[in-house]
């Protein structure tokens, strides 16, 4: 009987220890120079406002962002995009035709339901080639148009995440609900949290939450101005950059590729 009681006691202690370990907070990732959180500013589509109003503001603060571009849109502001590239902003691939589900009427002629993995790879390769011809850089990062990661329909539906993992260093989503854990995240499926239409007091809680466990917050936007649909407010960006410039706040404000490269180096060292 004593042996049975002792065995039960050991089992309870083991289970309790496991429960405590499961509930214990993860150790914070070690960002460079004592930073407590990484934040990346990302923008999609190569919209006019990004180089007309956005990059001049970023340049004032010496902040580099990631721009996921569609080549035809780059051509319409080519000199401005060349300047943005020369100033150190990261240029990513956002496809050639911006394919999304055909449930969006504007995407019916380029519906993901009508794509194959081969067609998607060919389009992304052509987009890379065009971006290199236009701006002299080969994109290493990608953002999924509409945040959608499939091609085909029904039983023939396939994920094209493996294509992105093969072609690019990272692939970013859209309208996600949390930041990335640098010790765990899949670079081909980085979460992207919306910053369009928000004031700084709505962004700061996201930063503080990510800071608690040393996470990587990737913010995603479109237009850069003050008003309108899918617009990241310049006033919010200004507050964010001023807040991040204070070393006491522990923010590492860097492009996606820079953060990903650092994470890779840390994993290799460990």
Q: What is the pTM of this model?
A: 0.90
Q: What pLDDT score does 181 carry?
A: 98
C-beta separation of 90 from 62 below 8 A:
no
Domain positions in the chain are 37-269
Q: Give me the pLDDT at residue 20, please.
A: 37
CATH entry 3.20.20.370 includes domain 37-269? yes
How much is the pLDDT for 16? Answer: 43
The enclosing H or E element of 262 equals helix 256-269
Q: What is the pLDDT of residue 56?
A: 98
- What is the reported pLDDT for 27? 62
Say what the pLDDT of residue 4 is. 43
pLDDT of residue 267: 87
For the chain of 270 residues, list the mean pLDDT of each consecutive stretch of 10: 46 42 56 96 98 98 98 98 98 98 97 98 98 98 98 98 98 97 97 98 98 97 95 98 97 98 90
> DSSP string of 125-173?
HHHHHHHHHHHS----EEE-GGG--EES-GGG-EE-HHHHHHH-SEEE-
pLDDT at 268: 87
Q: Is 88 helix (H, G, I), strand (E, B) or coil?
A: coil
């Amino acid at each position: 009987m004593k042996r049975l009681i002792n065995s039960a006691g050991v089992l309870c202690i083991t289970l309790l220890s496991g429960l405590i370990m499961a509930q214990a907070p993860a150790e914070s990732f070690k960002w460079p120079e004592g930073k407590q959180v990484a934040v990346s500013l990302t923008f999609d589509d190569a919209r006019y406002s990004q180089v007309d109003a956005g990059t001049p503001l970023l340049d004032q603060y010496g902040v580099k962002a990631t721009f996921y571009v569609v080549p035809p849109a780059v051509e319409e502001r080519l000199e401005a995009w060349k300047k943005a590239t020369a100033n150190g902003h990261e240029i990513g691939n956002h496809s050639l035709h911006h394919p999304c589900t055909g449930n969006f009427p504007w995407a019916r002629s380029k519906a993901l339901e009508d794509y194959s993995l081969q067609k998607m790879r060919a389009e992304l390769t052509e987009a890379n080639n065009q971006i290199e011809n236009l701006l002299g850089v080969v994109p290493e990062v990608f953002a999924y148009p509409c945040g959608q990661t499939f091609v085909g329909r029904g039983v023939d539906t396939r994920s094209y995440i493996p294509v992105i993992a093969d072609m690019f260093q990272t692939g970013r989503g859209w309208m996600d609900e949390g930041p990335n854990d640098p010790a765990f995240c899949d670079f081909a499926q980085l979460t992207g949290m919306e910053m369009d239409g928000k004031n700084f007091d709505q962004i700061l809680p996201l930063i503080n939450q990510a800071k608690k466990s040393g996470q990587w917050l990737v913010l995603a936007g479109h237009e850069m101005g003050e008003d309108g649909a899918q617009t990241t407010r310049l006033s919010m960006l200004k507050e964010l950059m001023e807040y991040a410039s204070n070393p006491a706040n522990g923010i590492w404000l860097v492009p996606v590729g820079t953060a990903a490269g650092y994470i890779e180096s840390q994993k290799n060292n460990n």
